[in-house]
A and B are shown apart, each in its own frame.
Chain A
Amino acid sequence: MDILQITILGVLASILYILVKEVQPSLAFLIILITGIVIFFSIIQQVQLIFETIRKLGDQANVQGLYLTTILKIIGISYIAEIGAHLTKDAGLNSVSKYIELAGKIFILLLAVPIITAVIEAIIGFIPNV
């Protein structure tokens, strides 16, 4: 989707939100939700193209598949956590959105553990045995 179309969609969604909020507050929140879904859906298809390029370049540069997969998974987790956090913040649940962000950080750290281990092992390998 073009950037102009996304912007117009956002403006349209805000107009409809203001219109519906007066009569049905719960449906107005669902309008916000579906707008986020639509915009993200259009973005994710472009992200797929970028990721295919990154994976191809990684294969050409002989980067180990584990590292690339980990990085892509980390990016995915951060996107999902951000969607959830923003949605809950819009609904007025600030503390829940903070918890979602915290969960995202923890899972990213968990995924990064093999890479951190590899780095530390490499550093230990450099240190000469006394």
Chain B
Amino acid sequence: MFVDALILFQIAGIGIIVALIHTILKQMGKEEIAQFATLIGFILVLLIVVNGLSDLFQQIRSVFLF
């Protein structure tokens, strides 16, 4: 189950790093690129979360005989 705690840390890490990149790019005056960095970070995390959600629903489907 250490893998699962790892996912949490991964997401939090991505969030903090993306926020950092966002701030730096904003300071440099590149507003659009900062927005894109935020968007890409969000999409990365969304990929992880959706994979987990799909696994969970498959498991539920197999357990509850759907």
| Interface residues in chain A, defined as those with a beta carbon under 8 Å from any beta carbon in chain B | 1, 5, 9, 12-13, 16, 19-20, 23-24, 26-28, 30-31, 33-35, 37-38, 40-42, 44-45, 47-48, 51, 69, 72-73, 75-77, 79-80
B1 within 8 Å of A by Cβ?
A: yes
Instruction: Determine if A41 and B56 form an interchain contact, defined as CB atoms under 8 angstroms apart.
Output: yes
Please judge, given known A-B contacts A1-B1, A51-B63, A76-B63, whether A27 and B9 are in contact too, CB under 8 Å.
no
* Chain A residue at minimum C-beta to C-beta distance from B11: A31
Q: What would 10 A/B residue contacts be, using CB atoms closer than 8 Å?
A: A23-B15, A27-B41, A28-B15, A30-B11, A30-B45, A37-B49, A41-B55, A42-B4, A44-B60, A77-B64
Q: Are A33 and B42 in contact (CB under 8 A)?
A: no
Question: Which 10 A-B pairs have CB atoms at the shortest separation, nearest pair first?
Answer: A76-B64, A23-B19, A27-B15, A16-B12, A20-B15, A38-B4, A24-B15, A37-B52, A48-B63, A1-B1
Tell me whether B11 and A69 are in contact (CB under 8 A): no
Task: Please tell me the number of chain B residues within 8 Å of chain A, measured between CB atoms.
Answer: 31
Give the interface SS of chain A, mostly helix, strand, loop or mixed. Answer: helix
Q: Are B15 and A41 in contact (CB under 8 A)?
A: no
Q: Contact partner of A31 among B8, B57, B60, CB < 8 A?
A: B8
